[in-house]
Amino acid sequence: MGVLYFILSVVLYAILAPLGMIYGLIVNVKGTNNKFTRFAECIDRAGNVLCPELFNKVLIKNSQHLFGDGRETISSVIGRNVLAGTLSPFGKRINGLLDRVKKNHSVENIGF
């Protein structure tokens, strides 16, 4: 049943999201930045749910704090592992990219 819900959600998203985004931009230009920030967080949480096996393998080492919890963003998990010193070399590179956008992004987003 989960696969069916996933397929249905992807199809509906592909149809409705572009329409909703265009409509939202037309009627609420001032809220655009906030909307895209919230949307980025949704994508971040979805990635944490969809890819924990890969992320746990390539981004961290010997960690107590793993990827996979949909209540947490990828950035938050990376931040917890930054503080614990358990990022892999590739995880450190990903964290470095996040730092280029916003200094200390992952650590500041722990718990979000």
In the predicted model, is pLDDT for residue 69 greater than 70? yes
| Domain housing 54 | 32-108
pLDDT of residue 112: 62
Within a domain: residue 97?
A: yes
| pLDDT tens per residue across span 24-60 | 888 988 878 888 888 899 999 999 999 999 999 999 9
In terms of pLDDT, which residue wins out, 97 or 28? 97
Mean pLDDT of the chain: 92
Q: What's the number of domains the chain is made of?
A: 1
Residues with Cβ within 8 Å of 78's Cβ and at least 6 positions away in sequence, in order, are 59, 87, 91, 94, 95, 98, 106
Within a domain: residue 8?
A: no
User: Which whole number is the average pLDDT over 71-83?
Assistant: 96
Within a domain: residue 20?
A: no
In the predicted model, is pLDDT for residue 96 greater than 80? yes
